[in-house]
């Protein structure tokens, strides 16, 4: 059986926490920013914990993280 490869695009975007969850950048922060309030844009900075429903997919993309 060949080794699984890490998805390099996902590896650059997501990190695994000590408890096995994934963290990554918030969505909705790239374009159409004029209509979004300053508070909303400020809160989209930084990282957030990725939803539990997406964890199985990320585990396949990032088998060795």
- Predicted confidence (pLDDT) per residue in 8-53, tens digit: 999 999 999 999 999 999 999 999 999 999 999 999 999 999 999 9
Predicted TM-score of the model (pTM): 0.83
Q: What is the pLDDT of residue 23?
A: 97
> Which residue's structure tokens are 């539990």?
52
Spatial neighbors of 52 by CB under 8 A, at least 6 apart, are 21
Residue 1 has pLDDT above 90, yes or no: no
Q: Which domain holds residue 47?
A: 8-61
Domain at 33, CATH number: 4.10.410.60
Q: What's the structural domain count of the chain?
A: 1
Residue 6 has pLDDT above 90, yes or no: yes
Q: Is residue 2 part of a domain?
A: no
Q: Is residue 20 part of a domain?
A: yes
Q: Is residue 12 part of a domain?
A: yes
Q: Is residue 57 part of a domain?
A: yes
Q: Is residue 3 part of a domain?
A: no
């Amino acid at each position: 059986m060949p080794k699984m490869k890490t998805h390099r695009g996902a590896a650059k975007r997501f990190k695994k926490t000590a408890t096995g969850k994934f963290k990554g950048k918030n969505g909705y922060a790239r374009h159409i920013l004029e209509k979004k309030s300053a508070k909303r844009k400020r809160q989209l900075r930084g990282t957030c914990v990725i939803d539990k429903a997406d964890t199985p997919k990320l585990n396949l993309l990032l088998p060795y993280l």
